Amino acid sequence: QVQLVESGGGLVQAGGSLRLSCAASGRTFNRYDMGWFRQAPGKEREFVAAISWSGGSTRYAGSVKGRFTISRDNAKNTADLQMNSLNPEDTAVYYCAADPSRVSDTARYWGQGTQVTVSS
């Protein structure tokens, strides 16, 4: 069982940065792929970024590639999402997810979400 808690969301102006953090409980955190997803009002949840259990492999949605960076610290049981050059289209609730295999929108474990609002 893994419990995930996101933090770091908030209000930022366009062009600004935020760093989201996902704290995980459980002894086997380093065996899970971790991912970030987001859901904007009136839209379906979409994939943002993912990182393999070892941290050696990352994936990004095309809309955030080059602006967002996902990382993890298995010693601290955390997975972070550094978001730079934010624009209003990045406004959404951001969710952390974990899965023992490749993380996707059907991931086994989810956090409660953290709101990110980017003003123009």
How far apart, in whole angstroms, are the C-alpha atoms of residue 75 and residue 12?
Answer: 30
**Confidence band (pLDDT; 50, 70, 90) for 29?**
confident
**pLDDT tops 80 at residue 109:** yes
Q: Are 116 and 8 in contact (CB under 8 A)?
A: no
Rounded Cα distance, 53 and 32, in Å: 5
Mean pLDDT, residues 60-71: 98
Report CA-CA distances (Å) from 94 to 28, 45, 100, 103.
Answer: 23, 9, 20, 15
Please give the single-letter amino acid code of residue 110.
Answer: W
Structure tokens at 90: 């990045």
What pLDDT score does 30 carry? 81
The tokens of 9 are what? 């969301």
pLDDT tens per residue, range 69-96: 999 999 999 999 999 999 999 999 999 9
